[in-house]
Amino acid sequence: MAVDVRLKPEDTRLLIKVLIALALTGVVAAVLVLPSRSRLKALDEAIAGVQGKISSQEAFAPVFADLRRAADREAGASFGFPARAPLDRQHLQELPGMVQDKAQAAGLGVLEMNLDVNSVLMDRSRVMLQGVFSGQLAQFRLFYLELQSLPSLNRVERVEIRAVPEGLEFFVQMRFALT
């Protein structure tokens, strides 16, 4: 028994219309769905990147809390030092080297040192020195204690700590007394 499977012209037109409708539906789905899927993938990657950054910052949270507690305990007593022996203006160029030696003796790396000679114009009895150091918190504590041994140190005006992938960076702004 043979079955005659011939399509009538109406069936052929209907089949073509169904195929066109399916193709149009596929094109519309591709136009609407694929860009949103790629945006979702990019968003997932961005979220993963932010989560990685958050986890690295959480690693430094205990160090930051310790620093905050130490700052609260020693708020007024640890930053101002009376200068015991003001530095002679003739030896002003030696000041960055003295501070750098103290930092290196404590194990800190010296990234930048800036002696602001223009600060003398504002206050004739003091000069400002700024430095950026890298290392660990224990090394900075040693440096800070060694810094107090400089007889011309008048005050430490600002200390900023920033977490970097290699450890910590310390920005210190100091004033030294001059004769």
Angle at 88 between CA 82 and CA 89, to 5 degrees: 115
3-state secondary structure the chain: CCCCCCCCHHHHHHHHHHHHHHHHHHHHHHHHHHHHHHHHHHHHHHHHHHHHHHHHHHHHHHHHHHHHHHHHHCCCCCCECCCCCCECHHHHHHHHHHHHHHHHHCCCEEEEEEEECCHHHHCCCEEEEEEEEEECHHHHHHHHHHHCCCCCEEEEEEEEEEEECCEEEEEEEEEEEEC
Band of residue 67 on the pLDDT scale cut at 50, 70, 90: confident
Domain count, the chain: 2
Band of residue 81 on the pLDDT scale cut at 50, 70, 90: low
In a domain, 67, yes or no: no
The residue with greater pLDDT, 86 or 134, is 134
Could you tell me the CA-to-CA distances from 50 to 37, 40, 54, 136, 176 in Å, in that order? 20, 15, 6, 25, 42
What does the pLDDT look like over 52-65, one tens digit per residue? Answer: 888 878 778 888 78
Band of residue 44 on the pLDDT scale cut at 50, 70, 90: very high
pTM of the model: 0.52
CATH number at residue 126: 3.30.70.60
In a domain, 29, yes or no: yes
| Shared domain check, 50 and 103 | no
| Shared domain check, 89 and 28 | no
Query: Does pLDDT of 45 surpass 80?
Result: yes
What pLDDT is attached to residue 82? 57
Query: Does pLDDT of 78 surpass 50?
Result: no
Averaged over 5-33, what is the pLDDT?
90
| Shared domain check, 107 and 50 | no
| Shared domain check, 79 and 112 | yes
The residue with greater pLDDT, 144 or 91, is 144
Q: Considering 17, 35, 61, which residue would you say is the last residue of a domain?
A: 61
What value does the mean pLDDT of the chain take?
Answer: 84
